[in-house]
């Protein structure tokens, strides 16, 4: 299906089987295991073996260049089986707000810089603590059929656990426990909706004190989200994101020419949020495609981070 195009293209790169429109293989270069810059440390989110663990082989990190992605090269991670968080402290005045980041990649890979570290650079400069989640993407043959947690629960297990860890350690990391939100891109945008609607459904057995606190985000930001509109003949929301009045305030953004995750993914979720009385702000642009991240182009959508800055201030999360 279209929604998996980006992920499948990148995953095929790991097997060396994809070519571009000119018949040439996209630029690629396998690199050493990814580590955060600046001496920051990856923190395992599970004290022992992660729930629903599978043996998926060695984690793979590659520099790739796929035509669907704005800009030049970016870093894709595959076969992620050991989930971690990396805490990026705010620069300058600390607003007390924190955002857990879900990079996209169709639940096949993670765009760890394009939709991860580059997002941290933006938000930390605005006084927001960023927590980059490297969630499990098991790999080929293990993808969720439609981003449903029953198909492959591991990503949502990791997301719930990450939010709980941030709230549990909020004092240690100088975070206001009532200002913890999520932002996700593409499949990560689906994970934003899943954490926003399934926070009362625990997908794993408690492992320590962190699991006693809530995993409900205080706000949610979905950028070109996928896996929300399942029936392409009818305008029906994915039933595994059960919106309610307790769903947190939400920001949505997408392009009308997005051929990977059509704009209906945002539209159908927006309608459900409105019906439930959830505060929601949505911005749609005529062009800009998919997987543009924060990389600047000449198109209007490239200014979207300023919209989020204003929205976060308007809902009382930042100054």
Question: What's the domain range around 159?
Answer: 2-314
pLDDT at 230: 84
319, part of any domain? no
Q: What is the pLDDT of residues 44-71, one digit of tens each?
A: 999 999 998 877 778 888 887 765 555 6
User: Which of 22-36, 72-86, 143-157, 278-292 is the least confident region?
Assistant: 22-36
The pair phi, psi for residue 199, each rounded to 5°, is: -65, -20
Q: How far apart are CA 45 and CA 135, in angstroms?
A: 9
**Residues 278 and 304: beta-carbon distance below 8 Å:** no
- Contacts for 201 with CB less than 8 Å, ≥ 6 apart: none
Residue 201 lies inside a defined structural domain of this protein: yes
Mean pLDDT of the chain: 88
Indicate if the pLDDT at residue 146 is higher than 90.
Answer: no
- Please determine, for residue 308, whether its predicted confidence score (pLDDT) is greater than 90: yes
In a domain, 67, yes or no: yes
Inside any domain, residue 80: yes
Query: Would residue 18 count as lying in a domain?
Result: yes
- Residue 154 covered by a domain: yes
List the structure tokens of 119: 């997002």
CATH number of 60's domain: 3.40.50.1820
The answer, yes or no, to whether residue 221 has pLDDT greater than 50, is: yes
CA 49 and chain centroid, separation: 23
CB 268 within 8 A of CB 229: yes
Q: Domain for residue 277, yes or no?
A: yes
The tally of domains found in the chain comes to 1
pLDDT value of position 149: 78
| Cα separation, 89 vs 103, whole angstroms | 18
* Percent of all residues in the chain with a pLDDT value above 70, rounded to a whole number: 86
- pLDDT band, very low/low/confident/very high, at 2 (cuts 50, 70, 90): very low
Residue 78 lies in a domain: yes
Q: What is the pLDDT of residue 147?
A: 73
Q: Where is average pLDDT lowest: 49-58, 99-108, 274-283? A: 49-58
């Amino acid at each position: 299906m279209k929604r998996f195009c980006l992920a499948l293209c990148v995953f095929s790169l790991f097997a060396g089987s994809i070519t571009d429109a000119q018949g040439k293989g996209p630029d690629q270069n396998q690199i050493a295991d990814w580590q955060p810059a600046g001496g920051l440390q990856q923190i395992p989110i599970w004290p022992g073996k992660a729930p629903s663990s599978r043996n998926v082989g060695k984690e793979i990190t590659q520099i790739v260049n796929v035509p669907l992605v704005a800009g030049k090269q970016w870093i894709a991670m595959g076969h992620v089986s050991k989930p971690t968080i990396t805490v990026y402290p705010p620069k300058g005045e600390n607003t007390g707000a924190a955002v857990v980041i879900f990079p996209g990649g169709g639940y096949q890979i993670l765009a760890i810089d394009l939709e991860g570290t580059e997002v941290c650079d933006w938000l930390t400069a605005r006084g927001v603590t960023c927590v980059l989640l490297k969630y499990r993407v098991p790999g080929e043959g293990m993808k969720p059929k439609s981003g449903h947690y029953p198909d492959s629960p591991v990503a949502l297990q990791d997301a719930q656990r990450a939010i709980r860890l941030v709230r549990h350690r909020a004092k240690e990391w100088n975070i206001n426990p009532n200002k913890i939100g999520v932002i996700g891109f593409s499949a990560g945008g689906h994970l934003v909706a899943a954490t926003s609607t399934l926070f009362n459904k625990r997908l794993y057995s408690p492992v320590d004190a962190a699991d006693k606190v809530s995993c409900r985000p205080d706000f949610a930001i979905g950028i070109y989200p996928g896996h929300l509109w399942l029936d392409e003949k009818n305008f029906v929301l994915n039933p595994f994101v059960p919106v309610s009045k307790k769903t947190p305030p939400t920001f949505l953004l997408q392009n009308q020419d997005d051929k990977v995750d059509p704009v209906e993914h945002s539209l159908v979720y927006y309608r459900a949020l409105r019906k439930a009385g959830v505060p929601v702000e949505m911005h749609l642009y005529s062009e800009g495609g998919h997987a543009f991240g924060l990389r600047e182009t000449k198109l209007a959508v490239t200014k979207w981070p300023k919209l989020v800055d204003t929205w976060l201030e308007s809902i009382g999360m930042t100054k």
